[in-house]
Structure 1
Amino acid sequence: MDDRNVSVKEIRQSENRFLSSDIFESGQHVFPRRNGEGVLREEARDIPLYHRCDVLVVGGGPSGTAAALAAARTGAEVVVLERYNHLGGLSTGGVVIWIDRMTDWEGRQVVRGFAEEAIGRLPPEAVAGPDRTLWGVRDPDLAKYWRLRTSAFHGIVTWAPTIDPERLKLTSQEMLIEAGVRIVFHSWAAMPVVQDGAVEGVIFESKEGRQAIMAKVVVDCTGDGDIFARAGASFEADIEEGDVHHSMNTGFMLGGVDMETWLTFRGTEEQAFADFNTLGREQLGFFQTPYVSWRNDIALFLGPRQSGLSALNVDDMTEVEIRSHRFMQSHCEFFRKHAPGFKDAYMLLSAPQLGVRHTRRLAGVGRIERSQWGSGAIQPDEVGVSPSVSPKFPVLSVPYGALVPLRLNGLLAAGRHISCDANSHGFMREIPQCWLTGQAAGAAAGIAANRGVTPRDVEIAELQSTLRAQGAFVRDAADCHSSEDRNRDKDGSLPVQSD
């Protein structure tokens, strides 16, 4: 591939970023511009009805899996429609196996419910991370140790484990089956069925052809807002060129490594590590150092990150995949030759799923905004609590309104496309937050279906009570005490997420 017109932006390590990767933009593609013009008219036809249910969850990623389980536990009949052969989305098929922070800066786990149950059901050998007694610890030596293992930020040990993706696939699947959820794999949602401003089901494609599933409530967990966008709901799609939160890549893993040897090198030989990075950029152009995984003999790579390309454009998505596969080979060869602990490395797996960070964001009844970060206010319709981006801020109250479209009925949205501004999206797209909003949307969908009301008319008190009964951490707005005088961002700077 000719990279002469590709620009590289290095994101240096700082107090807000502890693992870095080059981000680059390019207008070039391997293949020439497509030559398709005009349209074809498709003949009208009857579509077979596959199934009727109370709640249809479109997408079985982190938010979709949590939504399906939560809805089923309200007693609703639930179907989850998934285009791949597994559940978990980016946390499994995308090999984003580093699960971001679920604790606040004092060590209290605030992302609970589905997140706590799913990880708790994994066998001990499938989870790597600090013991619960260390969460919130500020000891410099412990923070340094766990910082290199993706579980310490700003000098504080947190709960941000790495997990075995195959175990999480199986655990997620069994949790849904136990709850009575109908799982439909290898099926791609094509169009929503909309009647009088309400979504009543989805048309999907599979090896059986084009079929439909009808539901009382549909939960869009596609990650890209495919269903609500095609149903006519308003959304935002602003992209900041070169922003890590709006870039893509296909993750990959190298096997046969010794990560402890690598981490010792990285943590103790500062100049040699800097020289190694310089050499990598000189020889490869685009470069990333590895993340730890749940095993010492497997290294995880979640870059180099590629910006300026859209996950809603099939040519751009193809381009990212082609580049990422080439990066996997070049990184494996370079690390095998130059990196301590990698002399026997081999290409183990490139992710089956493209690593997309941002496409669309719902325009909702409510919205999470940058201006809310410092207040510590508990929203009256709180359905969960997100860790904040830095100790400068208190935890963030996640409102139900961020899951509800402004006008479209019969649908809720969960996952990385909820209603928020671009800054807040930087952390609300993370896997724990997707679990959180998925569980909230699923519980609300189940209640709406059971009560015969639209999702926007669900009683907040009943929803909050249901979520608490399912183990989620949801506070009462009556307990709200403003913390504007503390945790205020003194310099107005915007902390940056690491991935």
Structure 2
Amino acid sequence: MTSAPGEPGLQPPKVTLPARDLPVRSHADVVVAGGGPAGFCAAVAAARSGAHAVLVERAPFLGGTATGAMVASFMGFYWRDLRVGGGIGYEVTRRLIEAGGATGFGPYVLAEAGENPAKVRTFPFDPEILKIVLDELCGEAGVEVLLHTQAVEPMLRDGALTGVILQGIDGAEAVPAHVVVDATANATLVRRAGCATQNSPDQRRERQPMTMMARLSAVDVQRFRSLPRQEKRALARRGVESGELALQLLSMVGSPAGEDGFVMVTRVSGLDGSDSRDLTRAEVEGRRQVRAAVGFLRREVPGFERAYLSALAPWIGVRETWRIAGDYVLTEQDVMSGRQFPDAIAQGGGPLDVHDGNGAGLILKEPPAPFSVPYRCLLPRELDGTLVAGRCASATQTAMGAMRHMGTAMATGHAAGTAAALAVEHGASPRDLPAEELAGLLIDQGAIVRSPLLDGRKSTSGGIDDCQQ
């Protein structure tokens, strides 16, 4: 029996390309690959710390999941009512409010129509305003931003990354750098440099499902929010039974404008979000599911009678692809015990959020306290000159379910960018940096590195019925 093209076990035919010289148009202290929540924070942090930072993004705008996948609500900044996210990520929320793209943090019930909802604090925002805010943020910091450009290969020498090969519209070029930050979400550069991964290639189609987000206009947001939870559950079950909803959720985040809703009602399983062919199938299937769901919402769900589809996310949201094997692998036990590490660079608040890749299930667990992310999770094992940030960091699948929230991802990016600039200043590898010096810098920059509970602060948590979607 033979494997299909792209399946493990089959060696596809190869074509040898002639060697060629690439132009070097710029040098950098720090190159950041990927302009999502982790990447833009890394680039801004590096630039503010005095490094010449180049930020590379394949899309025509920054923001990644927040803008391109249209996941228009930040999570991970709070554990219960206690803020655990600060630094550049929190600054972004303040700028969004000033720009009229958000009103602030508020209570939200995650998976209210599901079997195990979780009360959280979220920050709804307008993705279009966020694009502009990030342009301004990077411009003020002096980041050299390259949009419409993809980081395709690492430059390697003696087991260390020394730069990145970029592919732009007008051709390829090389950018040498002292430190490379891989914030591609897929660990593209460090994997190609030989870094081992925490998850197996044989299980790449058993990962968490993908979601296509949609923006609906003319929604009576308050009417929908006022529906009792049990009615929402009954409606969600009816949608799944009719085949018009792909999962038993009626998740919607209202826009700051008041009459738009960002809905998460799709689930695309069994495909690899780091494989272009699988991702093509996922995009098409996601749009098909949105069309079916909109019909159901308009017909069955109070508040959506006049709603219409005003925008589809530019690309499907991917929860999980590759996670590196780093100097430390964060575990579910670490998260669910609220473990605090001596080399902590960020705090997370959860919840632990894992979607079943083969069914309709969803695991939601609240950690008993904030948990910390150690610096070692950002260091690819046996590879120098580089750091990772965001959802490709070193963690198990379940631990990443709590760590991948955008507030926490931004915190890892801020830490990676500051560490990269510090490595440039010291002429050292990121692995050799003193953890205490890095933590001190992050704290000076407004990041929350140590658990606020250790400062004697208290927290409270109300019931599910105290807040609504």
Q: TM-score range by the shorter chain?
A: 0.7 to 0.9
1:237 aligns with 2:187: no
1:253 aligns with 2:220: no
Superposition pairs of residues 63-462 of structure 1, within 5 angstroms: 63-105=38-80, 107-123=81-97, 125-130=100-105, 146-147=108-109, 158-238=120-200, 246-265=208-227, 267=228, 270-271=230-231, 274-275=234-235, 277-279=237-239, 281-284=241-244, 286-287=246-247, 288-295=249-256, 296-389=258-351, 390=365, 393-462=368-437
SS in 2 for 1:305: coil
Structure 1's 99 and 312: CA in aligned 2 closer, same or farther, altered over 3 A?
Answer: same
What amino acid does structure 2 have at the position aligned with 1:97?
A: A
Moved over 6 A (4+): 154-157, 239-243
Distance 2:232 2:24 in 1: 63
- RMSD (Å) for aligned C-alpha atoms: 2.9
Hey, what's the Cα distance between the residues in 1 that align with 2:235 and 2:96? 39
Question: In 2, distance between residues paired with 1:163 and 1:394?
Answer: 27
Q: Measure, in 2, the Cα distance between the counterparts of 1:416 and 1:148.
A: 20
1:149·1:292 contact (CA, 8 Å) conserved in 2?
no
Query: How far, CA to CA, are the matches of 1:95 and 1:147 in structure 2?
Result: 19
| Alpha-carbon spacing, 1:193–1:395, altered in 2? closer, same or farther (3 Å) | same
Distance (whole Å) between structure 2 residues aligned to residue 399 and residue 230 of structure 1: 24
Amino acid at match of 2:33: V
In the TM superposition, what is the alpha-carbon distance from 1:90 to its structure 2 partner? 0.2
1:128–1:294 Cα contact (<8 Å) kept: no
Quickly say closer, same or farther: Cα 1:155–1:372, change in 2 above 3 A.
same
1:431-466 deviations in Å (ceiling 9; x for gaps):
111101000100000000111100101121221111
185-194 or 229-238, which moves further after superposition? 229-238
Range with greater deviation from structure 2 (330-339 or 447-456) = 330-339
Deviation at 1:263, TM superposition (A): 1.8
Q: Structure 1: which 5+ runs fail to align?
A: 1-35, 132-142, 482-499
Q: Which structure 2 residues correspond to residues 4-23 of structure 1 after superposition, within 5 A?
A: none
Deviation at 1:281, TM superposition (A): 3.0
- Tell me, in whole angstroms, the C-alpha distance in 2 between the residues paired with 1:241 and 1:42: 29
Following superposition, the deviation at residue 375 of structure 1 comes to 4.3
Q: Answer with 163-172 or 370-379: which moved more.
A: 370-379
> How far, CA to CA, are the matches of 1:427 and 1:471 in structure 2?
22
Within 2, Cα distance between the matches of 1:363 and 1:306? 27
Q: Structure 2 CA distance, aligned partners of 1:285 and 1:126?
A: 29
TM-score (norm 1): 0.80
Bigger shift: residues 93-102 or 446-455: 93-102
Partner in structure 2 of residue 17 of structure 1: none
* Deviation sequence 1:295-352 (CA, Å, 0-9, x none): 4311222342222110122111011100111122222222222222222222111111
Q: In 2, distance between residues paired with 1:284 and 1:476?
A: 43
| Matches of 1:69 and 1:272, distance apart in 2 | 42
Instruction: Tell me the CA shift for residue 285 of structure 1.
Output: 5.9
Q: Cα offset for 1:50?
A: 2.5
Pairwise CA distance, 1:249: 2.4
- The share of aligned pairs that are identical, in percent, is 32
Aligned AA (2:410): W
Bigger mean CA deviation after superposition, 311-320 or 74-83: 311-320
Aligned length: 428
For residue 279 of structure 1, report the CA deviation from its aligned partner.
4.5
Match of 1:7 in 2: none
